[in-house]
Structure 1
Amino acid sequence: MKLYNTLSKRKEEFVPIEPGKVKMYVCGPTVYNLIHIGNARPMIVFDTARRYMEHKGYEVNYVSNFTDVDDRIIKKAIEEGIDANTVSQRYIEECKKDMEGLNVKPATVHPKATEEICGMIEMIETLVEKGYAYKADDGTVYFRTRKFKDYGKLSHKNLDDLRGGNRSLLVSGEDQKEDSLDFVLWKPKKENEPYWESPWCNGRPGWHIECSVMSKKYLGEEIDIHAGGEDLIFPHHENEIAQSEAANGKEFARYWLHNAFLNIDNKKMSKSLGNFLTVRDISEKYDLQVLRFFMLNAHYRSPINFSAELMESAKNSLERITTAVQRLDDLIQQKSETGDISADEQSLLGAADQYTKKFNDAMDDDINTADAIAAVFEMVKYSNTHFDERHSKAALMEMKQKMVALTDILGLNTAKKEEILDEEIEKLIAERQTARKDKNFKRADEIRDMLLEKGIVLEDTREGVKWKKN
């Protein structure tokens, strides 16, 4: 299996530190709101990479954090008149719901920054002792960027060019820095902010130190894969490397994987443009399996454009796959005896393996899900053409298993949705309306999710709630 390593800017053969085991860290969301579809892309693509590595027999220790202390979380807490922990915990739970809808497997560990403060203080102390960090007069602790000689090796940026672009920092409230490139490891507390005691001042950690510490605690000083969105390459991941390697004296991560940006109708997603979409917004119109399929239809390093038309196309394409699996299911149900697979059937099944090979070849080539999906469609066409009611139950079951094996790696659920009667739908909608009226939004969301699982999409309109079968 080859992976494109941002560090070397080329595809490299994947060789784990320990044979048969993979230590993988993926930067998770800052939990101050519902996750948007841009957040969903790394969740989906790196979950798929994990699934494929597990399929190949690797034992994957997959760690993905929640950043639960941040200026945006604090701002939200002040606006709502509650504490920051209540805000972050609320959105961690909402994020987990969205991840479940997207069929993203829970990480081996989902660490929270606020629960790892002691480790952060310890690493900062180590950096100070080694001369890589210093305390300013106000208690802020900065990292001495120039002392780390390999700074810029991930982003391929020149230090002098970076300094020229950062001179404004010297006069923007950070004039106690020795160098404009130095970045914060620990910052003093402000009014109405959460804080922790430290040797330097009561305060809280900088963003970059959080991931270095959580990765070290749950995966060790050296890891195989570090992944995230390409917007994290600089400064976040660059700073993680500097901190971790300066503190531990070892290479931090062997392979750095980054997914490209997502645009909406060929424009950058932003609240100011009015094109900001959360995963929850999408779930009101589509089964989230459609969003997952849409994301995987492009190579993870290629920019992806989201539009209503492309989502409809993704929905129709996914239905071709699920319909093919359900067709085999229906044929299997019609058979009473399993019987033996004939020589002719064995030959047909053997020929189908060419599509499995194409799929694996695509995934071995830097997790190329776009080409892998193309191989799935070739298998769908082959199955529809060559397998029908004339074939044995055993042959039909094996053909189905070959197809489902591939969709499982992609995290696509091909199981037929349980049918639900119209009167049951109306009863659940009425219960949801009552729950909303009573401000029991948790129950209202549960009912909506329950209906969505059965293929029922709700639309809240001025005239009331409308529903349709998706």
Structure 2
Amino acid sequence: MRAWNRPQIPRLPGQAGAPWLHDTASAGLIEARPNDVARLYVCGITPYDATHLGHAATYLAFDTLQRVWLDGGYRVHYAQNVTDVDDPLLERAAATGVDWEVLAESQVELFRTDMVALGIIPPNDYVAVTEVIDEIAEAVSQLWDAGLAYAVPIVASVPGAPEPTVAAGSDLYFDIAAAERATSWNLGDESNLDADTMHTLFAERGGDPDRPGKRDALDPLLWRSARSGEPSWESRVGAGRPGWHIECSVIALKELGTDFTVQGGGSDLVFPHHDMSAGHAAALSGHPLAGVYSHTGMVAYQGEKMSKSLGNLVLVSVLRDGGTDPRAIRLALLGQHYRSNWEWTDTHLLEAESRLATWTTAFGPAAVVGTGNAHSVVDQLRAALAADLDTPAALAVVDAASIGGVDDPALVAVAVDALLGVRL
């Protein structure tokens, strides 16, 4: 699948070190130092209601990570998926009367446009789930052959029958207990959550803990057998479509290999998605999925987490159509630490627009030379971002420098462009 055009990223004199990131699995900071190539996987969108500010905040966080790596002299290999066939997408398509493939493509194109406007570095591999159905089916077959998957018959209600009856076909599920015996992975390794919390989140986030026939309530779906009116593909495991978690496991392993540097996404993906994806990957490869599990906080609006189900979305495209400078949107998001949960208000945008104007005066083409040391500003910027991508601290560094000006405004402008993605 086509991604989007890459922004030009200028090079700065000198070189930064590897960043330290908060790792959800260990609940501590880990140096995200690649051996040579920084390999990054960030879970992509399910293409409807794109692109809200929660999406934008997540992809901006990992754009910042890439910029820090690039400034450190590392090459970056970045992969991202598009979940272009899934229950929520199919439900939205049915509700709106739009073909699911048409809906997905239109929303992916809108997402691309928003990412270009925000100056987000595109993935090297931008992979739709529908492009790798054969690979996913083969992975499910591998798990089945290894005794790490099992079948659960489809049960349907038949009119006039006193009890539900078994219909043709079965869905395939991942056997968590068998995988824990066969690999070094254990449920909860990546999420650091207790059993009660996992059960609650599994039910809230697309799981089916109460389905009869499952060996464990938390066992996740690998392959959904074909149903009438739903898209399906023929495969060695029967006609059907993939479960959610196995998609990312297969795409990540295919594009990045095992033990890649960082697995990223929103904190709502910690469990079950990233925990189960890591389990699938360990069962398929015999190796851990990633070295660091990095997660962004949630963005709220009008008192509730911004979500498609609630409809309380602030869309990047709507802000842009209203005349908002995308650089101001980017600065408003950078003003919050990527791991924090926070609520969007119009004040964030007003402050960002004011900051953009101040920075443009201090460091733009018409800037006046001041007394501050520009090289010191660059050093402070690098230090802030290396410390768990502390963008609020980085913005404060530039704010302080803008008060009295610097001896080389152009250097600060290049640093703001390279490290923060804002061209003055």
TM-score range, shorter chain: 0.7 to 0.9
Return the offset for 1:403: 2.9
Q: Distance in 2 between matches of 1:271 and 1:225?
A: 26
Which AA in structure 1 matches 2:228? E
Contact 2:141/2:237 (CA < 8 Å) preserved in 1? no
Q: Distance in 2 between matches of 1:167 and 1:229?
A: 18
Contact 2:46/2:82 (CA < 8 Å) preserved in 1? yes
Decide which of 57, 60, 74 is 2:90's aligned counterpart.
74
Q: Is 2:335 the counterpart of 1:297?
A: yes
Contact 1:140/1:200 (CA < 8 Å) preserved in 2? no
Return the offset for 1:162: 4.4
Q: Which residue of the partner structure matches residue 402 of structure 1?
A: 412
Q: Distance in 2 between matches of 1:63 and 1:165?
A: 26
Which AA in structure 2 matches 1:409? L
1:40-70 Cα deviation digits (max 9, x unpaired): 1111111111112111111000111111001
Which AA in structure 1 matches 2:189? K
Contact 1:66/1:110 (CA < 8 Å) preserved in 2? yes
Decide which of 346, 355, 362 is 2:384's aligned counterpart.
362
Q: Is 2:125 the counterpart of 1:125?
A: no
Q: Distance in 1 between matches of 2:335 and 2:228?
A: 47
Change (3 A) 1:162 1:290: closer
Which AA in structure 1 matches 2:413? M
The alignment partner of 1:74 has SS state of helix
The alignment partner of 1:214 has SS state of helix
Contact 1:135/1:200 (CA < 8 Å) preserved in 2? no
The alignment partner of 1:61 has SS state of strand
Contact 1:166/1:180 (CA < 8 Å) preserved in 2? no
1:271-313 Cα deviation digits (max 9, x unpaired): 6866322111221331121111111111111112210122111
Decide which of 7, 23, 37 is 1:5's aligned counterpart.
23
- RMSD (Å) for aligned C-alpha atoms: 2.5
Q: Which residue of the partner structure matches residue 143 of structure 1?
A: 174
- Between stretches 76-85 and 303-312, larger displacement belongs to 76-85
Contact 2:53/2:315 (CA < 8 Å) preserved in 1? yes
Return the offset for 1:33: 2.9
Alignment length, in residue pairs? 383
Which AA in structure 2 matches 1:413? R
Q: Is 2:192 the counterpart of 1:153?
A: no
Q: Distance in 2 between matches of 1:50 and 1:249?
A: 28
The alignment partner of 1:263 has SS state of strand
Q: Which residue of the partner structure matches residue 330 of structure 1?
A: 366
Q: Distance in 2 between matches of 1:176 and 1:47?
A: 43
Contact 2:174/2:222 (CA < 8 Å) preserved in 1? yes
| Runs of 4+ that moved beyond 6 A | 164-171, 271-274
Identity of counterpart residues, as a percentage?
Answer: 31
Return the offset for 1:20: 2.6
1:203-246 Cα deviation digits (max 9, x unpaired): 10001111001111111122110000000000000100110011
Q: Distance in 1 between matches of 2:367 and 2:27?
A: 49
Which AA in structure 2 matches 1:206? G
**In the TM superposition, what are the counterparts of 1:356-395 in structure 2 within 5 Å?**
356-383=378-405
Which AA in structure 1 matches 2:188? G
Q: Distance in 2 between matches of 1:364 and 1:170?
A: 40
Return the offset for 1:197: 0.9
* Greater RCO structure (CA 8 Å; 6+ sep): 2
Return the offset for 1:184: 0.1
Contact 1:362/1:372 (CA < 8 Å) preserved in 2? yes
Q: Distance in 1 between matches of 2:124 and 2:137?
A: 24
1:435-469 Cα deviation digits (max 9, x unpaired): xxxxxxxxxxxxxxxxxxxxxxxxxxxxxxxxxxx
Return the offset for 1:189: 1.8
Decide which of 200, 207, 215 is 1:178's aligned counterpart.
215
Higher Cα radius of gyration = 1
Contact 1:188/1:203 (CA < 8 Å) preserved in 2? yes
Change (3 A) 1:241 1:28: same
**In the TM superposition, what are the counterparts of 1:225-240 in structure 2 within 5 Å?**
225-240=262-277
Which AA in structure 2 matches 1:309? T
**In the TM superposition, what are the counterparts of 1:6-405 in structure 2 within 5 Å?**
6-16=24-34, 19-137=35-153, 138-149=169-180, 150-159=186-195, 162=198, 172=210, 174-270=211-307, 275-285=312-322, 286-326=324-364, 329-330=365-366, 351-383=373-405, 398-405=408-415
Query: Taking structure 1 as the reference length, what is the TM-score of the superposition?
Result: 0.76
> Which of the pair is proportionally richer in helix?
1
Query: Taking structure 2 as the reference length, what is the TM-score of the superposition?
Result: 0.84
Contact 1:259/1:301 (CA < 8 Å) preserved in 2? yes
The alignment partner of 2:38 has SS state of strand
Return the offset for 1:160: 7.3
